[in-house]
Structure 1
Amino acid sequence: MTLVSERNSADVIRAEAAKLFFDRGYDATSLRQVAAAAGLKVGSLYNHIDSKEHLLLQIMGGIMDDLMDSIRRAAAVEGDAVAKLQAALAAHLRFHAERAREVFIGNTELRSLSNGARDVVIAKRSEYELLLQELIEEAGTAGLADVADARIHVYSFVAQATHVASWFKPGGRMTLDEIVSIYTKFALRELNVPNADARVGHSTS
């Protein structure tokens, strides 16, 4: 098996496992079911994972890695501290809406991990929250935002994105671009950013 096909197999395994964990729950899903969904024999799974818990950790850790990468790339936009924060928040919201299944697993199955694996995911979450916190603090330090408590603002913005992930469906009353725009405006208003609505406009698409 080539390196490319091995990567493809690993991606398929994680994708099918995520579907099953979402639909059935982690505890009610067997590796035999994952293998069948991925079109593999059970033994072939062990070329990519050590155990079912390792598979869950791959999914939960991978979603955090992808989220961090998305936010870092978004925050690299040119502009002032609010422009960087705005871009990061828009990416944060969009990611949660587009990857809702994995977000749900990340929020509900942390309890299914053993202490060591749980610590890995928690550390990644803390790193992510710290990145958002730093962007908020930079906007406050620049005098462009009224920051009451940066960490609490982070909790608020994370909760908003998680909420969007719980109800957004493509083809609904509003497009994802419109939803991202509205929630980004809410976030900037929360920070008393001058001309928050004008800053956002339709630039989050």
Structure 2
Amino acid sequence: MARTIGSHGPTTMEAIRKAGLRLIFQHGYEAMSLRQLAAEVGIQPGSLYNHISTKQELLSELIQDHINDLLRELEAALRDRHGAVERLRVFVAFHVGYHMTRKREVFIANSELRSLDPRNYEAVVALRGAYERRLADILTDGVAEGVFDVVDVQVATFAILSLLTGLCSWYRPGGRLTKDAIIAAHEKLVLSGVMPRSAEPAPVGGGQSGHTPG
């Protein structure tokens, strides 16, 4: 049995969040019980209620905190970046890099939306919409600048996000391509999809290591 670490304070809450993230990722939200979560952390089941009121609250906070982190870190990455092409490059690099390192959070945010109650679902969808609008704004600005040729910004936004997030289903550290090479490949795919062929810029980054793909 895990060592009891106490039932109060930020340290225990952080342990609950990490254990909850791990258990939901491994077993799914419905299969994880609060008793199992308490045992993983090393506290009595009743002590969980000093930190969370329900399992639903924990799931909602994990997903919302993930998307808030995503938004905050994206804003930092885009700060002082100018021009739609540069900002789109930064968006792609940030999104791919983040999703390489936060696979559990991304998986839960996508696969467990169905498990949220209506109020929490609406809150998460609103946050996701804010992130999607950051990309949509870049594409809209690119069209206005005359550097992007996009038939429908909303369709392009969803298509790009699906492409970039799809990396989570196949990426494994230590594969054939370096992180920079994977980012460069996605950058080329995205830019070639929104820029007139005559205006496509040369790729940035690259490099390979000697293992199997992803």
My pick for the range that moved more, 73-82 or 149-158, is 73-82
Shift of 1:107: 1.2
Give CA-to-partner distance per residue, 1:148-173, whole Å, 9 cap, x none.
21111111121112210111111111
CA distance in 2, matches of 1:40, 1:158: 40
Q: Are 1:48 and 2:45 matched, yes or no?
A: no
TM-score by length of 2: 0.85
CA distance in 2, matches of 1:75, 1:120: 24
Matching residue of 2:85: 82
Letter of the structure 1 residue corresponding to residue 99 of structure 2: H
Give the count of matched residue pairs: 197
Q: Kindly indicate whether the alpha-carbon contact (under 8 Å) linking 1:13 and 1:38 is maintained by their aligned counterparts in 2.
A: yes
Task: State the SS of the aligned residue for 1:27.
Answer: coil
Q: How does 1:34-45 map to 2 (within 5 A)?
A: 34-45=37-48
Q: Kindly indicate whether the alpha-carbon contact (under 8 Å) linking 2:180 and 2:205 is maintained by their aligned counterparts in 1.
A: no
Q: How does 1:146-161 map to 2 (within 5 A)?
A: 146-161=149-164
Write 1 or 2 for the structure with the bigger share of helix. Answer: 1
Q: Are 1:92 and 2:95 matched, yes or no?
A: yes
Shift of 1:189: 0.7
My pick for the range that moved more, 15-24 or 78-87, is 78-87
Letter of the structure 2 residue corresponding to residue 148 of structure 1: V
CA distance in 1, matches of 2:26, 2:91: 30
> Whose Rg is larger?
2
Letter of the structure 1 residue corresponding to residue 106 of structure 2: V
CA distance in 1, matches of 2:116, 2:175: 35
Letter of the structure 1 residue corresponding to residue 205 of structure 2: G
Shift of 1:90: 1.1
Give CA-to-partner distance per residue, 1:128-185, whole Å, 9 cap, x none.
1111101111122111211221111111121112210111111111122211111011
Matching residue of 1:197: 202
Structure 1 residues 77, 39: CA separation in 2 closer, same or farther (over 3 Å shift)?
farther
1:64 to 67, 72, 77: 67
- Structure 1 gaps, min length 5: none
Matching residue of 1:12: 15
Shift of 1:62: 1.0
**Stretches (4+) displaced over 4 A:** none
Task: Give the root-mean-square deviation of aligned CA atoms.
Answer: 1.7
CA distance in 1, matches of 2:43, 2:179: 35
CA distance in 1, matches of 2:103, 2:92: 16
Structure 1 residues 197, 122: CA separation in 2 closer, same or farther (over 3 Å shift)?
same
Task: State the SS of the aligned residue for 1:29.
Answer: coil
Structure 1 residues 74, 60: CA separation in 2 closer, same or farther (over 3 Å shift)?
same
Shift of 1:116: 0.7
Matching residue of 1:32: 35
Q: Kindly indicate whether the alpha-carbon contact (under 8 Å) linking 1:97 and 1:161 is maintained by their aligned counterparts in 2.
A: no
Q: Kindly indicate whether the alpha-carbon contact (under 8 Å) linking 1:74 and 1:91 is maintained by their aligned counterparts in 2.
A: yes
Matching residue of 2:3: none
Matching residue of 1:172: 175
